[in-house]
Structure 1
Amino acid sequence: MSSAAHRLEHPREVWTSEEGSMARETAVTRWPKIVQSMVDDVGETLGQSECMERQQIDEGRRIQQALRILKEEIIQDQPLRPLSSDGRTDIESFNTKLASFGHAITWHNCPWLFAECHLYRCVQTFFSRSESTFWQNYDVFARQKLNAFLASHSAVKELCERYLSIADSGACFATTADEETQRLLFFEMTEVALWGNATDLSLLSSLSLDQIHSLQGKKAIQEGQARIVSNDMAAAWEHLRRLRPGGGRVDIVLDNAGFELFTDLIYALYLLGAGLASAIRLHVKSIPWFVSDVMPHDMDILLSALTDTASFPSANNESVRTVAALLSAAYQDGRLAIQENPFWTTGLDFQEMPVWAPDLFEALQESALVIFKGDLNYRKLVRDATWPHTTPFKQAIGVLGGGSSGDKAGIKILALRTNKADVCVGLNERTLEKVEKEAPRKAWVRNGKYAVVSFSEGL
């Protein structure tokens, strides 16, 4: 193999030193702001210190100071430092990866994906190494996650009403008329999950069964998919359709809490009701991560909010109450289950899963489908590498794609991702030319208005 071919097959990860890149902008501008927001959040909690013990106050101030120092290290482009142990097993993977570079990497000259993971894991050590159990269990992003969800109550109400209009009171989809309508309904519901980080439901066409089945409805769905620059939705449908009746276990590796988590839960109810899944595992982060990622308690907070008429106005709505009851029932009887694994919060890309988390990899191999939500999960799937945009998705995910990419079968993957970073694969030449004209200067991979739906059978 020529050196040129080798570079194509194993491209370099995106680095923060690349001028004009999102990585550079994030490191220089966004990271300091995020850390400052953490300082402010701890300060707001300390402002309620009349309810706190002296040790808790002192520890909070110590954490604030550690955050301020970290912020200055980023601004001044200091080297990344090895992480101090806080008793969790994932620290080793960070420090091993950091040492593997063979030289000091600085915040403005480092692999973007690894450094950002390192940042959030470093912050967590400030809290978890505290002598106060209050701070050890503190979610520095909980306040803003909850506030964002409470602000989305109108969108929650609308989505509940639209979902129940096609779900036979949410119990089943027996009223779905024919195979074509079922296929179109799968497309619509998958788009709900795809665009779930936007509370503007005008992004979606109507969820009325009659309209979906009509020529106008089909046209609306096609128009709605125009911004999906690589679309394997039909292949994913055929894969799940073959598993009916009953379906198999589906895993969803979640992304953001709040309204996006709610859309993911609506999607889960749909998959269960349509017989496309028999059970669904929701994979969450075990520590505060990338500001808004789902942790176990975010599920409980969301379910509680849906029935809290004092803080969530739409909790008075009958459709919201019905959906809340359906979710609670599925959660209680185990059809919906939360799972944690420390691998999700390492600085490793997902192609390192067979080595660093073999039990997780084997469990996901047994899944009927693993749905990876969001930008971060997508970047980890494809190693956040500078692949040509026309690189096939299966090639970019390496061993996870199975077949010639690895020694054994991979994972059945459906990636749902709105484009918010420069890495993007799976486009054909014609589509690439089209979107580069529509949204030039990398806008189509950065502005969140375009998306990919990428499927791999893992064979």
Structure 2
Amino acid sequence: MNRITEASPLSAKDKTSFAYLTIKDRLPVILSKIADSVYRLKGKIKESHGEEGTEDLKSLAGYIAKLRNEVQTDKPVVPIQDGRTDVSVWNDYLTEIITNTGTPPRWFESPWLYVECYMYRRVQEAAELCKTLKDFDVFRDQKEKSFFDSQQAILVLMEHLHNVVAELKSGQQVDLKHLFENFLKVSLWGNKCDLSISAGQDVAQTSSPLDQLQMFEPNILVDNSEAVLTCLQRIKVTKGHPACVDIILDNAGFELMTDLCFAEFLIASSLASKICFHVKAMPWFVSDVTTYDFNWTINQLCASNNTHMSKFANIWKQYLEDKTWQVSVDDFWTLSFPFNEMETRCPDLHARLAISDFLFLKGDLNYRKLVGDLAWPFTTPFHVSLRGFQPAPLCTLRTLKCDTVTGLRDGQADEVKAKDEKWMINGNWAVISFSDKLS
């Protein structure tokens, strides 16, 4: 994709890999993976839902096959027809596009952010139109397998968390900056574990995340971690209490574990007093966290025979009971709109975030929505690429898996490309980008 002097939408035809197969190949791969997963579950569904469940599964599989054909043959986008609360938003926006362009959007030429989100919404429609499988998550088995496959790395992380919290509670002198940056960067690199970028192939963290920090340090292209810590400390001073923090989550499995550990560190170090986790309202981009995934993860830790896992799981359950931690769901996170449109399209959520002291946004899709999935010149200041979205000071933790990024220094992109031709798409490079001002 050629960079241009002014930001323009990335369309499906701009994509060149899976990351970086073309859309013509990429989305069918995901849909084929879904079909395979559905087929493997037929015995389990029959046992739990009987013949009616079996028939529903057949209908779901047929719907996915039909959707796959629509993608491959570049059919026009059609209205959503289930009963979810977001149907009118999707369909009104489709009408808005047709009114503005004179023609329905199609898979190959439309803005990539829109058609990719639309595909996952159609996958949910397949479940919603069933009688017995309305709550069926076609990605659940993959997410749970990713969690179990990452057990060794989770054990290492939980033991480290235990030691750090004990150190903080002891009252002895600690290097807060070092500890903060470690947990922040573990959460950052947890974002490498993304099932949507692997077409749903197995993804797990199998090595110590702490051992990897030094190795990956040169791959952080923008590192505003010190500014983030300074902001959190300033909030504590100016408001007289630790910050109320919102974390907009990305992936379940190992990444969610890194986010929970980071959240525990913020509480234990008195950098935060309350944390609100924002999860997806439906299964989304294969591995994104839903309310079910969040609760399932903590329940798995509770049932563990590992002392550190069960200990923190019970602490976190208490946090949820006394509202130190909260879990929030909003349809906006599973719409296709960039975040600078949140205030007009979802004013209640924007108002809710505006009373937060600090926002952490995890992952590639949240980053794409922050910057509008536009082809910004690489050196565009990050706060400019937000295009006015600044309800509160915010930081995005993202490993690069899609070809848009801002805030780089002059010549940095060429330097990185000389080392790694696929630097924008393979998840091996990252940004910790911070903004506390409007463009």
Residue 80 of structure 1: how far off its partner (Å): 1.8
Correspondence for 2:305 = 316
C-alpha distance in structure 2 between counterparts of 1:347 and 1:90, whole Å: 13
Change over 3 Å in CA distance of 1:386–1:173 after alignment to 2: farther
Is 1:303 aligned with 2:292?
Answer: no
CA contact (8 A) 2:19 2:425 kept: no
User: Residue 283 of structure 2 is aligned with which of 285, 288, 292?
Assistant: 288
Query: After the TM superposition, which residues 23-102 of structure 1 pair with which residues of structure 2 at under 5 Å, given as runs?
Result: 25-48=21-44, 49-97=46-94, 98-99=97-98, 100-102=100-102
* Residue number in structure 1 paired with 2:420: 439
How far the C-alpha of 1:174 sits from its partner, in A, is 5.4
Alpha carbons 1:230, 1:454 under 8 Å: kept: yes
User: Match for residue 210 of structure 2?
Assistant: 204
What pairs with 1:253-264 in structure 2 (closer than 5 Å)? Answer: 253-264=248-259
In the alignment, structure 1 segments of 5+ residues that lack a partner are 1-6, 207-219, 309-314, 402-409
Shift of 1:182: 0.9
Residues 262-293 of structure 1, C-alpha deviations (whole Å, 9 max, x = no match): 11000100011111111000000011100000
Q: How does 1:364-375 map to 2 (within 5 A)?
A: 364-375=353-364
| Percent identical | 31
Q: Which amino acid aligns with 2:210?
A: L
Gaps of 5+ in 2: 194-204
Q: CA deviation at 1:25?
A: 1.8
2:188 counterpart of 1:188: no
The match for 1:3 is: none
Q: What residue number does 1:359 align with?
A: 348
Counterpart check, 1:140 vs 2:138: yes
SS at match of 1:56: helix
Give, as a single letter, the amino acid of the residue that structure 2 aligns with 1:231: D
SS of alignment partner, residue 455 of structure 1: strand
CA distance in structure 2 between the partners assigned to 1:205 and 1:50 by the alignment: 44
Q: Are the equivalent residues in 2 in contact too, given 1:94–1:118 (CA < 8 A)?
A: no
Q: What residue in structure 1 maps to residue 260 of structure 2?
A: 265
Which of the residues 412, 415, 423 maps onto 2:396? 415
TM-score by length of 1: 0.85
Contact 1:203 1:224 in 2 (8 A): no
Whichever residue aligns with residue 185 of structure 2, its letter is: E
User: Which of 145, 158, 161 matches 1:163?
Assistant: 161
After superposition, the C-alpha distances for 1:167-218 in whole angstroms (9 at most, x for unaligned) are 117xx4554625xx21121111100110113525545359xxxxxxxxxxxx
- Residue 333 of structure 1: aligned partner: 322
Please report how far the alpha carbon of residue 65 of structure 1 lies from its aligned counterpart in structure 2 after TM superposition: 0.7
Q: Residue in 2 aligned with 1:211?
A: none
Question: Cα deviation per residue 1:225-277 (whole Å; 9 max; x = unaligned)?
Answer: 32110111111111001123641210000000111111100010001111111
Alpha-carbon separation, structure 2, partners of 1:19 and 1:354 = 29
Q: What amino acid maps onto 1:60 in structure 2?
A: L
Match of 1:251 among 224, 237, 246: 246
Aligned residues: 416
Give the Cα separation in 2 of the matches to 1:149 and 1:416: 20
Q: 1:455 to 1:261 in 2, by over 3 A?
A: same
Could you list the per-position Cα deviations for residues 105-156 of structure 1 after superposition, in whole angstroms to 9, with x for gaps in the alignment? 32222211110100011121121132x1x31111111111111111111111
TM-score, length of structure 2 as denominator length: 0.89
Read off the aligned partner of 1:159 and give its amino acid letter.
Answer: L
2:217 matched residue in structure 1? 225
AA matched with 1:194: L
Partner of 1:105: 105
Measured at CA, do residues 358 and 90 of structure 1 come closer, stay the same or move farther in structure 2, by a change above 3 Å?
A: farther
